[in-house]
Structure 1
Amino acid sequence: MAFLVGFLTLAPLVFAPIFSFPLAQAATENNTVTSATTLEDTISVTVSPTTSPQLSPGQDLVLTVTVHNNTDAGIPTGRVDVNLAHLALTTRAALDSWLRPDKDTNSGDQLVSVPTTEVIPARASTSLSITVSAEAVGLTDRNAWGSRGLAAILSVGDVIQGEGRGTFVWSQGSAITPVGLASILPITTPESATGLITTKSLESYTSSVGLLSRQLDAAIDTPTATIALDPQIIASIRVLGSKAPASAVAWLDRLAGASNDIFPLGYADADIALQAQAGATTLLTPTSFLSAIDASLFVVPPATPIPESTTSPTAVPSITSRAMAETTPSPTPTPTPELEPGATVIPSTSDLLAWDYTSTAIGWPVAGNVARTDLDVFAASGQTTTILSSGNVEQSDVFTPNTAFALAGGLALVSDSVLSAAVRAAAEATTEDEWRANVSEAASLLAIVSAENPNSARTMLVTFDRSSPASATRISQTLAALDSTAWSNAAPLQSALEAAPATTVTFQDQAIDSNRVALARSLLEREGSIAEFATILADPIAFTAPARLNVLALLDTTWASQTSAWDEQVRASLAASFDLIHAVTVTTRGPIIVVGSKVDLRITLNNALDQAVTVRAEIVPSNGRLIVGDTLETIIQPNSSQAVSVPLSAAVGNGDVVLRVTLFTLNGTPLGQPAPIDVSVRADWEGVGASIFAILVVSFFGFGIWRNIVRRRRERAGEASAREPATVPVTEPHV
């Protein structure tokens, strides 16, 4: 009842632009504006009921016809003929054929012809309000209720310039079985590559006119709609601590107070089908946010206790309505611990992600891309209810079934693609006539579903687009308009889950583009490589946690429509991680000459990371000339180099050897490719050198001895000469 009162209160505001068109029997009023929505060099016409898609006996049919002149020439005065389809549109195929006709399709019987009184300027649009009297419409109580086709034809002379198709629903008071219409509203943000929303973006998104504020406004205005929430938004606000923007904190409080049912999307809205097809055995979740936390922002203020959650974030019913959850007895409250002012309390990962979800068992992959094997991955991750699109199922009956049908080990909810397309187009409409035309199509489709099998109540599901959330500005207006009809009632998702599963629907296996899957697989393999590499680090989580957030952000569903940009982002991420896992290297290069049979070779290892690493170095020679000692384990400090000594032994002969140095984690995983070091072995030089040295020593000492001997001989000869008497020569006399 509260919702009905709220809707009646909002109705004048919701429909105020519609009622602003004056009504005149068989008369027109022109309103010319610049055209910005039609195709180049075309003249298009739209026609739709002005006040409501429903028409009852005795009521005049009030229409708005808009002509979009997107050519470079004005359209002279002419006339607009309004026609009624010969037959009621009783099937979905008939509705589609009427609204999107082939060439030369009959446009029905003329109801009224109205002249245009002014030239329609180039690149402009003109709206005409046309009233067709109840008598001219010609429908009575004897005509069955249901969808009817309209055509508006613009002619100048005998030349047709353009034709538009529309619908209304004839309702003469027959008993109607309303269709329950459940809806899912995603609350997401544009794609990124970091896994956390920046402070500046949060300020923008949660401002009074920001994206997240508009999305939440639409959800609160439509309490029966179910919110599909990206947990990244919650974590991005909470991780900022006391620095979180006030508007973001207020937004989170508003979300907590919303009466809507809520279930979580994958973190960063990561596509769960893409994860499964890329090789994940369970769906990815964040591992830690510590690298993004500033401890100074989580200091307990004076005399302020830190409240603890009284319930586990995951202790919620698997599938239940919020109203039902409120009747469940609450667990015994946990006393709030008193913490000293100034204490620092760092939130855990579960603290940052915690939310009182209505269900955590629902998964929503990208439309039309789910393979049968994906369902096993979903179930292994606790998601036993999968939201599928019409492209993933096949229907064997002509009647529209309930949205739910059974899957092996779970349940599927099928979002009706045609109905969702019309509802999305209405929600994203930028003009009133565009909105009216799409609402009329959605209302007519619901009328057909209601009338095609009146003995069976059905519940249908529509979903809103996640790839362009900023453009959906008329969500609550659209759903309220459909809920106001007699043949459609807004329904919570719980109604869809509790409806009898359809037996005429079967799952159809689909697959994501192979190139996209290959790139996603590269991301998962890269993350595995980072996890192995991180075992050498003093704090592995500092590297693995941001890597996980990066992967989740790059698997965001919104990247699916941006193939080139996504390809660039993924390749840039892979390149950056390649540099990371190659940041510990061997810097020693050859050639090195080894002289002798046993030497210690010094090899330099470099660590370009900001934290210490522990690695093992293994050296393998290319041949048997050298024998290498045991594997070395060493610690390299941050942003530094470390020299290690490797014992080498020469085995046989001389020659060249290539030492291949490979770094390993402590688990035995190689870190990159082996580093080659060229070594020249000259083992016999040691003997030659010793011989030469011995010869030199012998020569030196021999020369010394020889010198001593020569010196002593000289000394002795001198001494002998000194001891002999002096002899005087005798001179004989001359005779």
Structure 2
Amino acid sequence: MTFISPAPGRRPPRRSRWLRTAAAATAVIALAAPAPAAFAAVDDAPDETVTATLAPGAGGVVPASGDLTLTLTADNPGPDAVPAGAATVGIGSDPLVSTAAIASWLDSGSTGASFDDVGEIAMPEVASEQSASAALTIDAGDAPIDDLDPGVYPVRAVYGTGEDSLRARTVLVVPDTGAPARQIGVVVPITAGPQSTGVLSSEQLSELTAEGGDLREQVDAVTGTPAILAVDPAITASIRALGSAAPADAVAWLDDLIALPNDRFALQYGDADLAAQIGAGEASPLRPVSFAAYLDPTNFGAPVVDGEATPTPTPTPEEPTLPTLEELFDVGADRDSVFWPATGTAGAETVAALGAVTGGDDAPVTLLPSSVVRSDAGAHAVSADTDLLLYDAGLSRLLEDASATDADTARGALLAEFTARAAVGDLADPLLVTVDRSNGRSQAALRGAIDAATGLPGWTATDLDGLLAAPATAVDVDSVPADQDRVAVIDGFRAAQGGLQRISGVLDDPTLLTSSVRATELQLLGNAWLDDREGWDAAIQAQRERIATWTDGVALVLGGPITLAGTSAPLVFTVRNDLPWPARVDLLASPGDARLVIESTTEVEIGAQQTSRVAIPVSALVGSGESSVDLQLRTPSGVEIGRSETVEVSVRAEWESVALVILIVLVSALLVFGVVRTVRRRKRMPVAP
């Protein structure tokens, strides 16, 4: 299938990443009630409110021995500096026994527990529009921490500066070392962000895989962890398709990825939106059927050593061996047919369609959030004979927000909440969580989220096989309508299929065009665009214009009427090629009546994005008159391209005789003139004595 997009409709945009992070951070910090004037929320200047965040180290887990660190960070967005002060830290004596109790404490500070002070944090002055942090280190063996039973405990810091004060809240987890170990799987995506072209360019790959690039940060973050990787095969294909021209950093990155021992599976090409494809009527997910547009045979010749090509054993050069689709898309997965729709986009309809996909070596498995399943099932579930892996939606959301938060203290507060909710929640064994898709996150933030998930006290990491080995629970999956804007785009893509198939026939290899279009449109359906609606609209419009250009990529360029001044002469026409590849067409010409005799078919070759002039021999059977020529472009296989064109021809064959008489008269006159001049010159010459 090939695509072209209509103008997409509007829908409310998704909540931006910073809003979700801000909401999560708000769950950790709150103002004292009543709030003093210096820290109170002001209706007309809410952005100038000073806030404080408190976070423990190690994901909120109290170590069995050693030090426990609590960090307090104050953010001052206002114009005036906040003076230095002291923050008193206290730990509740009674545990929080449910997720509701944890939420109540973090949201509003509601708890019936008394607090024991464990120390003070000396906070420095916080300059205008700046942040400042300070930490308190406590020996975990000291009272009252050493006296706490296993559980989740509230922690607060009262930050005072004179008469002003601010409260920040977090939680600590005292692990139960005697509880039986349980299993947890952590899925982490490896993606390149939103793309508007079929492959990542060499320049993009260089930037993304170099030190500090997004892809390098992701691979470094998962290295040494037991995370389950969900890899976009468009990345591996983009690198391998460059062959010997691939950037050194990209080649090293790919080698590092493949060498990782982590369990993994492949996402759809470009991490394309599965739910939208199913919602548009596709029986199975779309995928590239060729990569011809991106493979340059010159990059797959003999290996180069010391600047010279390795000699071949025979004098006859061999055709380079191009990689297959399987080789291009290989991400090192041991299991195929694993599908992970973007969180919140897929429901029962998508599950049923994906469960019926055939052609893989393994039975289809679909990852879904627990929020669309009406039961308390474990990680492994089944719906109408379709295998599901259910990840905890609430815990995964905390991990995603933490992985997208660069502020260490705010991230630590989110991870502490994650650990606390996991400790008191009635969680199934095995448990599945995700560090969901996000663009531009740092290695430290992503690694912190992975470590918090895989390092939960009393849990050991497992892989896909371990999750699927658990007994499956039968569940009912809620219906989730597909995004109609994306469905409309796919419908528009499909409508362009006929025109693109016709025009591709002018190429020696029609898959050059179809492979380019398919890969690009799958990238445009990527889930990374869900957080950038404005950018997505612009990218879809650009693709629509590109396809419109290509659909009419080869055509005649006609001028006005033509005058045929003679009984036979060539008629010259121009054919343009707007495609980025050379084209070959047949130009069919037929006379409008019997007064003209025309060579019917002429083969035309046009270079990429060039024009070519073609001459068609024509003979006239009359002296003069008005006639016409009908023109039609066809592919070498006979498929018509565009509509038939008619050119008016004025035949003036008698002009040829007139021109000949005039030419004879002129030549004769010149001869007579020459003779006369010569005779007169001779008469004037002197006679010798």
**Fold-level similarity (TM above 0.5):** yes
Cα distance change on mapping 1:253 and 1:666 into 2, 3 Å: closer
Q: Indicate if the aligned counterparts of 2:176 and 2:458 stay in contact, CA closer than 8 A.
A: no
SS of the residue corresponding to residue 476 of structure 2 reads: strand
The 1:341–1:676 alpha-carbon spacing in structure 2 relative to 1, beyond 3 Å, is: closer
Q: Which of 361, 366, 370 is equivalent to 1:386?
A: 366
Q: Deviations over 1:292-322 (max 9, x none)?
A: 333233223499xxxxxxxxxxxxxxxxxxx
Of 178, 186, 189, the match for 2:189: 186
**Structure 1 match to 2:401:** 425
Residue 261 (1) aligns with residue 263 (2): yes
Cα 1:514–1:42 change in 2 (3 A) is: same
* Correspondence for 2:575: 606
* Larger radius of gyration between Structure 1 and Structure 2: 1
Say if 2:67 is the partner of 1:94: no
Q: How does 1:603-642 map to 2 (within 5 A)?
A: 606-608=575-577, 610-614=581-585, 635-638=603-606, 639-642=611-614
Cα deviations across residues 575-597 of structure 1 (Å, max 9, x unaligned)?
12211121333445777999xxx
> TM-score of the superposition, structure 2-length normalised?
0.72
1:148-297 alignment to 2 at 5 Å? 148-156=153-161, 159-160=164-165, 162-171=166-175, 175-222=178-225, 224-297=226-299
2:22 alignment partner in structure 1:
none
Do the aligned partners of residues 203 and 536 (structure 1) sit closer, same or farther apart at CA in structure 2, a change above 3 Å counting?
closer
User: What amino acid is the match of 2:350?
Assistant: D
Q: Contact 2:400–2:437 (CA<8 Å) still a contact in 1?
A: no
Alignment of 1:377-526 (within 5 A): 377-378=353-354, 379-380=356-357, 382=360, 384-391=364-371, 393-397=372-376, 401-449=377-425, 452=426, 458-503=429-474, 505-526=475-496
Relative to structure 1, the CA distance from residue 86 to residue 511 in structure 2 (aligned partners, 3 Å threshold; closer, same or farther) is: farther
Deviation string 1:205-252 (CA, Å, 9 cap, x unpaired) is: 333443333322222210x21111222222222222223333333333
SS of the equivalent of 1:263 reads strand
What does the per-residue CA deviation read over 1:253-298, in whole Å, with 9 as the maximum and x for residues that have no partner?
A: 3333221112111122222223333343332222333333332332
Partner of 2:79: 72
* 2:509 matched residue in structure 1: 539
Paired residue secondary structure (1:560):
helix
* Change beyond 3 A, Cα 1:40–1:488: farther
- Measured at CA, do residues 87 and 510 of structure 1 come closer, stay the same or move farther in structure 2, by a change above 3 Å? farther
Deviation at 1:447, TM superposition (A): 0.5
- 1:588–1:603 contact (8 Å) kept in structure 2: no
Contact 1:588 1:677 in 2 (8 A): no
Give the Cα separation in 2 of the matches to 1:471 and 1:57: 30
Tell me if 1:146 matches 2:154. no
Report the Cα distance in structure 2 between the residues aligned to 1:646 and 1:99, rounded to whole angstroms. Answer: 89
Q: 1:179, CA displacement in angstroms?
A: 4.1
In structure 2, relative to structure 1, the CA distance for the partners of 1:671 and 1:118 (3 Å cut) is same
Distance 2:244 2:63 in 1: 58
Paired with 1:68 and 1:219, the residues of 2 have a C-alpha distance of 31
Structure of higher RCO (CA pairs closer than 8 Å, 6+ residues apart): 2
Please report the TM-score for the alignment, with normalisation by the length of structure 1: 0.68
Partner of 2:530: 560
Distance 1:487 1:125 in 2: 35
Task: Tell me the equivalent position of 2:318.
Answer: 343
Deviation readout 1:51-92 (Å, 9 max, x if unpaired): 562348999975333222222222345553545568633333
Q: Is the 2:400–2:438 Cα contact (8 Å) retained in structure 1? A: no
For residue 507 of structure 1, give the secondary structure of its aligned residue in structure 2: coil
3-state DSSP class of the match of 1:467? coil
Letter in 2 for 1:461: L
Distance 1:475 1:120 in 2: 28
Residue equivalent to 1:687 = none
Looking at structure 2, the residues matched to 250 and 119 of structure 1 have their Cα atoms a distance apart, in angstroms, of 46
1:667: how far off? 8.4
Match of 1:368 in 2: 344
SS at match of 1:395: coil
- The one-letter code sitting in structure 2 at the alignment partner of 1:532 is R
SS in 1 for 2:534: helix
**One-letter code of the match for 2:298?**
S
CA distance in 2, matches of 1:365, 1:107: 42
Instruction: Provide the rounded CA distance (Å) in 2 between the counterparts of 1:562 and 1:117.
Output: 39
State the partner residue of 1:326: none
> What is aligned with 1:353?
329
| Counterpart contact for 2:123–2:134, Cα < 8 Å | no
What is the CA distance between 1:478 and its match in structure 2? 3.8
Please tell me whether the aligned partners of residues 397 and 436 of structure 2 are also in contact (alpha carbons under 8 angstroms).
no
Gaps spanning 5+ residues in structure 1: where?
1-38, 304-336, 595-599, 648-655, 682-735
Q: Following the alignment from structure 1 to structure 2, what is the Cα–Cα distance between the partners of residues 355 and 120?
A: 48
CA contact (8 A) 2:272 2:526 kept: yes
Q: 1:555 to 1:106 in 2, by over 3 A?
A: same
RMSD: 4.6
Cα deviation per residue 1:186-220 (whole Å; 9 max; x = unaligned)? 22223322222222333333334433333222222
Q: 1:542-601 deviations in whole A, cap 9, x for unaligned?
A: 22222222112222221121111111111111112211121333445777999xxxxx99
Aligned-partner Cα distance in 1 for 2:65–2:503: 78
Once residues 522 and 490 of structure 2 are traced to their aligned partners in structure 1, the CA distance between those partners, rounded to angstroms, is 10
Match of 1:412, SS state, is: strand
Q: Is contact 2:71–2:133 with CA below 8 Å preserved after alignment?
A: no
Distance (Å, rounded) in 2 between the aligned partners of 1:523 and 1:238 = 27
Q: Quick one: structure 1 residues 119 and 535, their matched pair in 2 at CA, closer, same or farther if it must change by over 3 Å?
A: closer
Cα gap change, 1:642/1:563 in structure 2, threshold over 3 Å: closer, same or farther?
A: same
TM-aligned CA distance change 1:155 to 1:585, over 3 Å = same
For residues 493 and 68 of structure 2, the distance between their equivalents in structure 1, rounded to whole angstroms, comes to 58
Identity of aligned residues (%): 25
Give the corresponding residue for 1:121.
Answer: 127
Residue 506 of structure 1 aligns to a residue whose secondary structure is: coil
Cα distance in 1 between the residues matched to 2:300 and 2:315: 13
CA shift for structure 1 position 509: 2.0
Which residue of 2 is the match for residue 7 of structure 1? none
CA distance in 1, matches of 2:221, 2:131: 31
In the comparison of the two structures, how many residue pairs are matched? 586
Correspondence for 2:52: 45
Counterparts of 1:566-715 in structure 2 under 5 Å? 566-588=536-558, 606-608=575-577, 610-614=581-585, 635-638=603-606, 639-642=611-614, 671-672=641-642, 674=643, 677=646
Structure 2 residues not aligned, in runs of 5+:
1-45, 306-311, 620-625, 651-689
Between 53-62 and 366-375, report the one with greater CA deviation: 53-62
After superposition, the C-alpha distances for 1:428-458 in whole angstroms (9 at most, x for unaligned) are: 4434323321221111111013xx37xxx51
Q: Match of 1:254, SS?
A: helix
Relative distance call for 1:163 and 1:354 in structure 2 (3 A) is: same
Contact residue 273 and residue 526 of structure 2 kept, 8 A? yes
Q: Is the 8 A contact 2:69 2:135 kept in 1?
A: no
**Letter of the structure 1 residue corresponding to residue 502 of structure 2:** E
Q: Which residue of 2 aligns with 1:9?
A: none
Paired with 1:56 and 1:237, the residues of 2 have a C-alpha distance of 44
Partner of 2:505, secondary structure, is: helix
By how many angstroms is 1:167 displaced? 0.9
